[in-house]
Structure 1
Amino acid sequence: MKTKQLIITTLFITFFISASTAQKLDEFEVSPEWISKIERLAPNQPTVKNVSKKRILVFSKATGFKHWTIPHNIEMLKVLGKKSNAFEIYIRYDVENFSKDNLKKYDAIILNNSNPEGPKRNLFYDLLKQNSSLSDEDINNKAIEYEENLMDYVKKGGGLMLLHGAIVVQNNSKQFSEMVGGSFDYHPRQQKMHVKEVDANHPLVKAFKGKGLTHVDEPYFFKNAYFNYNFRPLLYIDADKLKGLREKPENNINYVSWIKRHGKGRVFYSSPSHNAQSLDNPEFLQFLLDGMQYVVGDLKVDDSPIGK
């Protein structure tokens, strides 16, 4: 009897472990074959055609958690820029790129999973700490300067696109949270989920054809300015369909992508996706390309906030 109970217990534990990890997708390296696949899947032309080519800085340096999709996103953005003939893509890693003079060179900035370390959650501080001999006081002051440079850049008309973990860039900054629409709170384990359009008729989610996106991802939850809903939401997930929640949220609708204005500039945030496998979806690639056209000002859409 004890042997039988032991076998049952072992099987249950094995099943539980398997069920809790089965949806974590395997990492893989960027390869010429994978890039060729993305080239085939990417849109043949932009939604808004015959526009002047825009310059986009893709900042891809992380000092904290390093998402394995960073190099995949770089190649994907290069493909979107080249195939659409709408963008010149510049990949950068140095904090000096956030000087006022340098930011003026670009029509938009894409923050590609630029996660800083916790608990400070300040990318500019981390980068300066790693790459300078300044005193801590000077580093703090310079980090504030770079943050203000980026916010001023957007306020005066620049575009800002944040991919997945980039929402954490200045996670403890109230003013940065207000600009980008929120701060990262936490996420349950990776799992298969159905991401739905808030308004299937909105031009920025037209690519999904009313069917949304089903994929394996980290379901992000947010805090701080998020609850002001000072943005136009694009995609959401039903919280009651998720497993492993820390607590039951007050609002079952959890927005995971949105757009908003900041002064004269435009912000686009997409929590999808933690995994490069999501890029195998041509509708998702179209969604990101449309987001790029939105932040540079080529694609005009309703970005009015829904508010509380």
Structure 2
Amino acid sequence: MKKNITALFLFVSGLIFSQHIEEFKITDEWLAKMEQLAPSETTVKNVAKKKILVFSKATGFDHWTIPHNTEMLKILGKKTGAFEIHIAYDIDSFEKNSLKKYNAVVFNNCNPSGPKRDLFWDLLQMNSNLSDNKIAALSKQYETNLLNYVASGGGLMILHGAITVQNNSKEFSKMTGGSFDYHPKQQEMHVKEVDPKHPLVQAFNGNGLTHVDEPYFFNNAYFDYNFRPLLYIEIDKLEGMKKEVDEKVNYVSWIKRHGKGRVFYSSPSHNAQSLDHPELLQFFLDGLQYVVGDLECDDSPIGK
């Protein structure tokens, strides 16, 4: 009898888990739910409307949540009235004059292909007849444009897999706070606040967030800890680790300054089901307010 109960529990648990990660299309019902769950006002009020460029073109792994995140950001902007959201897929968005139009850029899971891991290279190769040498030079120029844009005061918000946009660039890694290394299998995890009193994690009310996600691990500039961490996961609670680590925690979200600009990174989330948590929507909204300079908070790096 006990064996039957155990088997039934495992079967039901498996069904619940599969439902968490099952892909689904955007419907009117889902959009209505997002409208209801989204915050109706910003944390910092009475601020000028900001223009946000949301770049959503992947050339490598195509996260199924890209269109869901796009709709979510549009809803946040419209419902609060604080942001004018512009969706883009073309590399021309990273021309100097184009970037100047916006207060911040959001990279929405725009993963490039490997092993080069260079989004600008991929886009140029797909949409031009230029030589490899010319593509390399232009790709570097677009990267420089973005680095200078942020250093001059622009905001940059990076969602989940978009940490790989220029994954092999030391300059890009230094600006963003790290590069993608690998992730174990998707699993349920409890993401916790590093400092529950920090203004950017107030949405979680000290409870963190339990959801199914990919536990991202990072390398390159990450281990300089040149950022202010916001959320973490406990490594000893994870399954399927591919490498031994000395650290007890892994940071999965942080903020940092780059010159006069601000960067916000959130590894959560790989799955659109996580957007059912209103606290995560508030977290993203606060992140937008941070990168445009409306929400001031401690973003000093913790260092090694």
TM-score by length of 1: 0.93
Runs of 4+ in 1 over 2 A off after TM superposition: 21-24
Q: For the Cα contact (< 8 Å) 1:260–1:266, is it kept in 2? A: yes
* 1:294 alignment partner in structure 2: 290
Report the secondary structure of 2:63's partner residue.
coil
Q: For the Cα contact (< 8 Å) 2:20–2:273, is it kept in 1? A: no
Match of 2:177 among 154, 161, 181: 181
Match of 1:283 among 274, 279, 286: 279
Match of 1:90 among 69, 86, 92: 86
Report the secondary structure of 1:74's partner residue.
helix
Report the secondary structure of 2:133's partner residue.
helix
* 1:7 alignment partner in structure 2: none
Report the secondary structure of 2:21's partner residue.
coil
* 2:95 alignment partner in structure 1: 99
Match of 1:169 among 141, 165, 178: 165
Q: For the Cα contact (< 8 Å) 1:24–1:191, is it kept in 2? A: no
* Distance across 1 between alignment mates of 2:20 and 2:131: 42
Report the secondary structure of 2:303's partner residue.
coil
Report the secondary structure of 1:301's partner residue.
coil
Match of 1:141 among 131, 137, 141: 137
Residue 153 (structure 1) aligned with residue 145 (structure 2): no
* Equivalent residues in 2 for 1:1-308, closer than 5 Å: 22=18, 25-308=21-304
User: How much does 1:252 deviate?
Assistant: 1.3
Report the secondary structure of 1:258's partner residue.
strand
Identity fraction in percent:
69
* Distance across 2 between alignment mates of 1:48 and 1:206: 13
* Distance across 2 between alignment mates of 1:71 and 1:22: 21
Report the secondary structure of 1:68's partner residue.
coil
- Give the unaligned 5+ runs of structure 2: 1-6
Report the secondary structure of 2:218's partner residue.
strand
* Distance across 2 between alignment mates of 1:44 and 1:56: 18
* Distance across 1 between alignment mates of 2:167 and 2:243: 21
Q: For the Cα contact (< 8 Å) 1:23–1:216, is it kept in 2? A: no
* Distance across 2 between alignment mates of 1:89 and 1:297: 17
* 1:6 alignment partner in structure 2: none
* Distance across 1 between alignment mates of 2:112 and 2:258: 23
CA deviations on 1:46-70 (whole Å, 9 max, x unpaired) are 0011100000000000000000000
Task: Please tell me the residue identity of whatever aligns with 2:289.
Answer: Q
* Distance across 1 between alignment mates of 2:19 and 2:177: 29
Question: Which protein is bigger by CA-based radius of gyration?
Answer: 1
* 2:4 alignment partner in structure 1: none
- Give the unaligned 5+ runs of structure 1: 1-10
User: How much does 1:235 deviate?
Assistant: 0.1
Report the secondary structure of 1:188's partner residue.
coil
User: How much does 1:248 deviate?
Assistant: 2.3
CA deviations on 1:138-175 (whole Å, 9 max, x unpaired) are 00000000000000000000000000000000000001
